[in-house]
Amino acid sequence: MNSLERVLAALRNQPSDRPALFLNASLYGARLTGAPLAEHYTRADIYAEGQMAVRETFSPDLLISPFFVSSIGEAFGSPWRALQGQAPNVMRFPVGSAEEMLKLPLPDVDSHPRLLYLRETIRRLSTHYAGEVPIFGVLVSPADIPPLVIGLEAWIDALLFQPGVAQALMNRLAPFFVDLAKAMLGDGATGLVLTCNLGNAFLVTNSVAETLTLPNLKAVLEEVPGPVIFHHGGCPLLDQLVSFKGLPQVVGYVVDIAEDLGAARGLLGPGPILLGNLDGPGLLHLAPEDAQGLCRRALGQRGGDNQIIISTCGADIQIDTPPETIAAISEVLRQAGGASS
């Protein structure tokens, strides 16, 4: 089986030759190619070469567009910087409140250079791996865009104390989100990986989630013409899975690092795929044999569930992680399928 067939088997609850593997190695591609981060995060050809190197070196079954949410902030005027060895972060917010952000123009997904960079990475990867490897575009929900432009504190204040303004801002951002999602799918993305941290009661009150952010998420997903994998985004997800269950177009969920895959299946029931639960950033501190132990633990939680994909589920795999440690995970997956090479 090739990677696309392996992932489709998981979606269809069918057996495959081995469990599928996803590595959040968006940053790590620069390690393998030696590209400066300033080019890795601005030149689509350089980023695509990095993902091809990840594929050749570690054989993951899914590849992604840049895990670079700061690029969305840049489209609204937030400057970013990639510090040495780290993924980019927003450095300054162009406005300080939800009311001010309402006045900002919406970026054009067909002309803004950073959005075109994201889209071109998908085009290059999907063309190169057509029919072989699924490519997923990385996005954040409308509720997760304002923290990139006004800051998290100002956005939570609006959600709590100015619900009308918050609702108006999410409504204004919805067309931009839908346009970019449709553009990524049109560029060849197999599907999208999406966060909605501000829909998680770990960060906001149940009232905010139930009356503002989750209804907005459901509304925009109804307009997305392709499959979506919901990512925990760094928030505990297990206790919130029931709230996120049954979202339009969502075919899978990435759980947090310490959350049991079997327990998540018990809450979701049959149907969606589950991805987890290897600590991507934590691989930096592990010897290869320790990484293999974590992978075997995840396989044990998977059991006979065809719809679980072994996956790193935190942020990027750190650029200083020894390649031998990452390769050790791939080896466990090969052995699980009966191959010892």
Q: Which two tokens stand for residue 86?
A: 């780290």
pLDDT surpassing 90 at residue 85? no
Mean per-residue pLDDT for 307-332? 95
- pLDDT at residue 170, rounded to an integer: 98
Taking only the tens place, the pLDDT of each residue in 280-299 is 999 999 999 999 999 999 99
The confidence band for 338, taking pLDDT boundaries of 50, 70 and 90, is low
Q: Can you give the pLDDT at residue 277?
A: 86
Residue 144 has pLDDT above 50, yes or no: yes
Tens-place pLDDT, residues 25-57: 999 999 999 999 999 999 999 999 999 999 999
Per-residue pLDDT reduced to its tens digit, 233-257 = 999 999 999 999 999 999 999 999 8
Per-residue pLDDT, 340 = 37
Collapse the DSSP code of 230 into the 3-class scheme (helix H, G, I; strand E, B; otherwise coil) and give the result.
strand
Three-class SS state of 84: coil
| Residues 101-117: tens digit of each pLDDT | 999 999 999 999 999 99
- pLDDT value of position 79: 96
Of the two residues 337 and 51, the one the predictor is more confident about is 51
In this prediction, residues 73-78 reach a mean pLDDT of 97
pLDDT, tens digit, for every residue of 113-126?
Answer: 999 999 999 999 99
- Structural domains in the chain? 3-336 (3.20.20.210)
Three-state secondary structure call for residue 31? helix
Mean pLDDT of 191-213: 96
| pLDDT score recorded for residue 322 | 97
Round to the nearest angstrom and report the end-to-end CA distance of the chain: 16
Reply yes or no: is the peptide bond before residue 306 cis, omega within 30 of 0.
no
Buried b or exposed e, range 176-202, using 16+ CB within 10 angstroms: bbbbbbebbbebbbbbbbbbbbbbbbe
Tokens 């393998």, located at residue? 32
Q: Cα 140 to chain center, whole Å?
A: 8
pLDDT at 83 over 90: no
CA distance 98 to 101: 5
Single-letter residue type at 310: I
* DSSP structure string for 288-300: HHHHHHHHHHHHH
Residue 341: the pLDDT is 34
Site of tokens 């050749």: 56
pLDDT exceeds cutoff 90 at 212: yes
| DSSP states of 122-158 | HHHHHHHTTTTS-EEEEEE-GGGSGGGTT-HHHHHHH
Instruction: Reply yes or no on whether the pLDDT at 337 is more than 80.
Output: no
